[in-house]
């Protein structure tokens, strides 16, 4: 058993703030947790900073110079995992952007193999597309687009080791096909969709439990037709992913959204590209050169191509741009996405029995260290 002591800071425990904590770890899990008493030797000084549950990111396209679409392998996933661990992410879904069925199959197999190999942090996979609306394609290559047919359902519902999340446009799938995904345990999220308000409410009732990067790649909120964005704010059921980088969505709109819905089913995502944790920021996406500067990843026509964003920065922005307190930002980065993925019995919270995953941040929310399964990972 290992013992960690943290003091002189803010430790987020089940939505509360402790000024310090003693964490006993056994077999990669928290065996016991209590407030820190006194100033025992070996205590790590948080110096007014934070200790939070490890971040859970449901949308990671790449990192460390690696794009998952280009390298859907165990080694590729390991490089992405290492890049994001440096910013506090202890669980994530490598995310494949719309591609060929054979590449999707390769990515699903790579995720399984990475979990089997014990690559720290990988808990499944996110397939974003190819069943998307051409009207809301964003940076996706519409040459890969297709309906959610029987072949695609069979591919996505094969037995897998981890969580499988799929982003699709519900109008590009029959209700029976979505029901088949849901019955197989796939997390279905609506994104890159042209759905109106009424159709979105129907989709939420038919098993679509998430909304991918709320406000992006969907109709804008309008006073006569609220669209799927309005439905997501009006309906308490869906979990909503938020890209908080000051680029994808106006901070004012995100503040309005959180006030309208409350923070309980909001979750931070990075939509991260290979630039995160990389020295060379520019990259190529399916033959297109993407330039990265000033926190923006842009194609030459001005289309946003994912984000140059890490989870620690998303937390800092949630406090600085959105006015959230640290414990609420922590929930959006850890507790809520873990619950969306069905992992909330072992991740997303500092508590006995949970995985010993946490991140230390300074008072400005910059990462100082990441622990996965009780071992320092970054």
Please tell me the distance from the alpha carbon of residue 337 to that of residue 240, in angstroms, as a whole number. 9
Please tell me the distance from the alpha carbon of residue 267 to that of residue 240, in angstroms, as a whole number. 6
Q: Are 3 and 331 in contact (CB under 8 A)?
A: no
Please tell me the distance from the alpha carbon of residue 107 to that of residue 11, in angstroms, as a whole number. 37
- Is 306 marked as binding a ligand? yes
> Would you give the DSSP letter of residue 342?
T
- Is 78 marked as binding a ligand? no
- Is 213 marked as binding a ligand? yes
- Is 317 marked as binding a ligand? no
Instruction: Read off the tokens for 165.
Output: 């999340």
- Is 217 marked as binding a ligand? yes
- Is 24 marked as binding a ligand? no
Please tell me the distance from the alpha carbon of residue 59 to that of residue 119, in angstroms, as a whole number. 17
- Is 206 marked as binding a ligand? no
- Is 160 marked as binding a ligand? no
- Is 325 marked as binding a ligand? no
Strand 283-285 vs strand 187-190: parallel, antiparallel, or unpaired? unpaired
- Is 140 marked as binding a ligand? no
Please tell me the distance from the alpha carbon of residue 124 to that of residue 115, in angstroms, as a whole number. 8
Q: Are 96 and 105 in contact (CB under 8 A)?
A: no
Please tell me the distance from the alpha carbon of residue 83 to that of residue 60, in angstroms, as a whole number. 11
Q: Is 194 an annotated catalytic residue?
A: no
> Would you give the DSSP letter of residue 72?
-
3-state DSSP assignment of residue 328: helix
Cα angle, residue 157 at apex, residues 153 and 158 outer, rounded to 5°: 125
Cα angle, residue 350 at apex, residues 342 and 326 outer, rounded to 5°: 95
Q: Which of 271, 308, 310, 357 is catalytic?
A: 271
- Is 222 marked as binding a ligand? no
323: left (phi over 0), alpha (psi -120 to 50) or beta: left
Overall size of the chain counted in residues: 378
Which residue carries 């499988």 as its tokens?
Answer: 164
Binding residue positions: 128, 139, 192, 213, 216-217, 224, 248, 304-306
Annotated binding site for Zn(2+): 128, 192, 213
Q: Which residues are catalytic?
A: 271
Binding-site residue positions for substrate: 139, 216-217, 224, 248, 304-306
């Amino acid at each position: 058993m290992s013992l960690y002591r943290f003091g002189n800071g803010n430790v987020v425990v089940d939505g509360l703030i402790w000024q310090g904590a003693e964490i006993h770890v056994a077999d990669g899990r928290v065996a016991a947790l209590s407030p820190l008493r006194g100033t025992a030797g070996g205590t790590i000084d948080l110096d007014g900073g934070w200790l939070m549950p490890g971040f859970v990111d449901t949308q990671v396209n790449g990192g460390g110079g690696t794009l998952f679409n280009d390298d859907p392998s165990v080694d590729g996933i390991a490089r992405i995992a290492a890049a994001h661990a440096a910013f506090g992410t202890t669980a994530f879904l490598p995310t494949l952007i719309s591609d060929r069925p054979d590449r999707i199959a390769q990515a699903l197999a790579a995720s399984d193999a990475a979990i089997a190999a014990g690559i720290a942090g990988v808990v499944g996979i996110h397939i974003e597309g190819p069943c998307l609306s051409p009207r809301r394609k964003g940076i996706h290559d519409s040459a890969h687009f297709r309906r959610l047919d029987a072949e695609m359902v069979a591919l996505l519902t094969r037995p897998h080791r981890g969580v499988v999340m799929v982003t699709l446009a519900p109008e590009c799938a029959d209700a029976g096909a979505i029901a088949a995904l849901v019955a197989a345990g796939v997390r279905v999220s609506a994104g890159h969709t042209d759905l109106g308000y009424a159709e979105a409410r129907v989709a939420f009732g038919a098993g679509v439990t998430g909304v991918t990067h709320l406000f992006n790649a969907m109709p804008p909120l309008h006073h006569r037709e609220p669209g799927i964005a309005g439905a997501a704010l009006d309906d308490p059921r869906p979990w909503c992913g938020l890209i908080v980088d000051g680029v994808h969505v106006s901070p004012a709109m995100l503040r309005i959204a959180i006030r309208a819905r409350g923070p309980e089913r909001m979750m931070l995502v990075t939509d991260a590209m290979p630039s995160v944790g990389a020295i060379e920021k520019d990259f190529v996406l399916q033959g297109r050169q993407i330039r990265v500067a000033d926190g923006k990843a842009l194609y030459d026509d001005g289309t946003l191509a994912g984000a140059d964003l890490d989870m620690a920065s998303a937390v800092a922005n949630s406090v600085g741009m959105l006015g959230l307190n640290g414990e609420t930002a922590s929930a959006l980065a850890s507790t809520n996405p873990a619950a969306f993925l069905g992992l909330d019995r072992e991740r997303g919270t500092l508590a006995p029995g949970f995985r010993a995953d946490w991140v230390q941040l300074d008072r400005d929310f910059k990462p100082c260290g990441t622990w996965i399964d009780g071992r320092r990972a970054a």
